[in-house]
């Protein structure tokens, strides 16, 4: 297995982890909206999900970049 294959599979793993995080954020926010919370409580829940959402998006982007680099170099 070449180093480029490791880049591709590692990137796929990172992208998958990021996607799982994004899906979790979607369900977390949907659950908070269905709970009929007050505006302040809903805002607090959304703000608590924002770092994970941005981190998951960043992880997915880094994973996709690794996949592209691995494909170009192989």
Do residues 18 and 60 touch, judged by C-beta distance below 8 A? yes
Do residues 22 and 63 touch, judged by C-beta distance below 8 A? no
- Domain locations in the chain as residue ranges: 3-73
Here the tokens at position 35 are 């709970």
Do residues 11 and 60 touch, judged by C-beta distance below 8 A? no
Look at residue 25 and tell me whether its pLDDT is greater than 90: yes
pLDDT of residue 36: 85
3-state secondary structure of 71: helix
pTM given for the model? 0.85
Residue found by looking up tokens 């494909």 in the block = 71
pLDDT of residue 4: 87
Rounded distance, CA 35 to CA 38, Å? 9
């Amino acid at each position: 297995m070449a180093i480029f294959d490791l880049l591709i599979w590692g990137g796929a793993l990172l992208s998958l982890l990021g996607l799982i995080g994004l899906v979790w954020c979607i369900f977390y926010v949907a659950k908070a909206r269905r709970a009929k919370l007050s505006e302040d409580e809903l805002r607090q829940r959304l703000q608590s999900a924002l770092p994970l959402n941005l981190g998951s998006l960043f992880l997915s982007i880094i994973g996709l970049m690794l996949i592209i680099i691995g494909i170009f170099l192989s």
